[in-house]
Amino acid sequence: MQEQKNQTGASNKKSADVIVVGAGHNGLIAGCYMARAGLDVLVLEAYKTVGGMTCTNPFEPEAPDHLINECSCQASLFRFSPIDEELELTKKYGLRQRLMDPIHTHLSSEGDESIGMWRDPQQMAKEISYFSPKDGAAYIDFVNLLMQINHIGLPFALTNPARPDIGVVLKSIGRAVKGYKQIGKIANLLVSSQSGYLEECFEHDMTRAMFTSPLPFMPFKSDFSAWSLIYIGVLAKYGVAMFEGGTQGFPNALVRCLEAAGGQVRTNAEVAEMIMKNGRVAGVRLQNGDEIMATKAVMTAFSPKVVLNDLLPKGVLTNQQAVHARHIPTSDRGVADYKLNMAFKGKIIPRRHQAWRDKKYNDGNDLRLTSTQWMTYQQSLKAYEDCVRGEVPEVIGGLVQITTAFDAAMAPPGHDTLWFWSGLTPAEPREGWDIARDQITTRLIKNIGEYFDGVEELEIARRPLARPDLEKRFFAIGGSPYHVEPYITRQGPLKPMMGFGGYKTPVPGLYLSGSGTHPSAGISGISGRNAALTLLKESRKGSV
């Protein structure tokens, strides 16, 4: 079995230039940039291992020889960012990533057919055309528009949204002017509902379903929800990778980078509150009573709602700020995320659909390796409506992958591990979570068994993580990996809330980072990078 290097620093430091609270990938990335710039950095982690939602750990106690990516799995935006090159993670610190192509494959629930979501738009359009030649041609126009939107907008992801780099602004304006003929189409997409836009563009259920099952960021029928489709443009432009050695390979490389620059990590170090001195955040007090002081700043890299409501002493925020902080949306969409990890004493096989693909295309698309999905379009729409009513959907949409098909070292020889992620479970189940969790898991395993042979008879262990479990395990309020609901009205300088969207907060000495800040959740690390660069810029100006 491959050794998992879950670093557990035992630093006894009583002070540092900057304290970073949270050793998920954003916190570690922020620490790396600041340490490499010469600051004394201490990263604190409440859990016993680093990584946060990117951790990989043994499936204990039932299957200790099986390793699972406990939460996050795929690095959706990491290839877009310059982080790997700037921190030399691959070059010096052992990061290994592999491009996944196709990243997803949509399986027919009524037959044996499928559509691979390939990086090459022409290849993907060819597979769509099997179901609808009209949709195949429409997909090329669709993905070209999405790439144009990303061409204009993605540079903003790499800058401070409250004080954007003027070069980025001018570049984006220039790109928008050059593509002015597309402005009307771009505006139409951005104001449309996801379901309405898909029905406008595509006619076949397979095509529409492919773009709803894995993307429940907002209610499918709500205005402005179609913006979530820009992920398809990112997929086509940059591709999506996974980290070898499990997702833990990413934070492990970051720890090596941080320590090489003189930074330190301390685990089992949950922060109880911020220490205020002379009107500024001057350090943190741990649950065990230890006090650690920060000469420059404290940066947090987890839920900003927890930071602003629970860790700051009362009276630090103005009344208006306190009200806004209480109302940061974390579980208001009616749906919640759910993660299932499973271990098997043999190989589970998508026999029917794999046989069809091999005969039809013989393109090497291994359905054990790609992540698969299978809801129909109408099932996706109904599932969202069920969730809003507090009901567990009959068919639960999401993505499933056989982890050991990617990295066989994550289980004993001949064994498998599987993960399933869904964003379509009820946020507030009528019957309570003890009943709903069992309903979701039972229905889901039944669904998986309809596509993969051997699921029930080969199972060794299962670990369902529903909303309350995600909240407890990862300190994520509402069990949300987004930390702030992914509404278009909570993007850029409005994320997590007005006045706190530029990493440096109105509270002197306090900086925010993590998935609850610009630009997005997912494994990208851009929030950590942007926050660190903001602090370093302020430090050079003497404003920290």
* Residue-wise pLDDT tens digits, 487-502: 888 999 999 999 999 9
Q: Which residues, in sequence order, are CB contacts of 241 under 8 Å at separation 6+?
A: 74, 75, 78, 79, 97, 98, 99, 100
* Inter-residue contact 81 to 526 (CB < 8 Å): yes
CA distance 422 to 213: 9
DSSP states along 123-159: HHHHHHHHH-HHHHHHHHHHHHHHHHHHHHHGGGGGS
Q: Which of 395, 510, 405 is nearest to 449 (CA)?
A: 395
pLDDT at 70: 92
Q: What predicted TM-score, i.e. pTM, was given to this entire model? A: 0.95
What letter does residue 511 receive in the DSSP assignment? Answer: E
For 278-430, strand residue ranges (E) read 280-286, 291-300, 335-344, 371-373, 399-402, 416-426
* Residue-wise pLDDT tens digits, 146-205: 999 988 888 899 999 999 988 888 888 888 888 888 889 999 999 999 999 999 999 999
pLDDT above 90 (res 420):
yes
Backbone angles phi, psi at 292, to 5 degrees: -125, 125
pLDDT at 6: 44
Using CB atoms within 10 Å of the CB of residue 88, give its burial: 0 to 12 exposed, 13 to 18 middle, 19+ buried.
Answer: middle
What letter does residue 244 receive in the DSSP assignment? Answer: T
Least reliable range by pLDDT among 167-171, 207-211, 532-536: 167-171
Cβ density class 158-194: b for 16+ within 10 Å, e for less: bbbbbebeeebeeebeeebeebeebeebbeebbebbb
Q: How many residues does the chain have?
A: 544
* Residue-wise pLDDT tens digits, 45-66: 999 999 999 999 999 999 999 9
pLDDT at 7: 46
* Residue-wise pLDDT tens digits, 360-404: 999 999 999 999 999 999 999 999 999 999 999 999 989 999 999
Token pair for 108: 């027919």
For 126-261, strand residue ranges (E) read 240-243
pLDDT at 257: 98
Percent of the chain with pLDDT over 90: 83
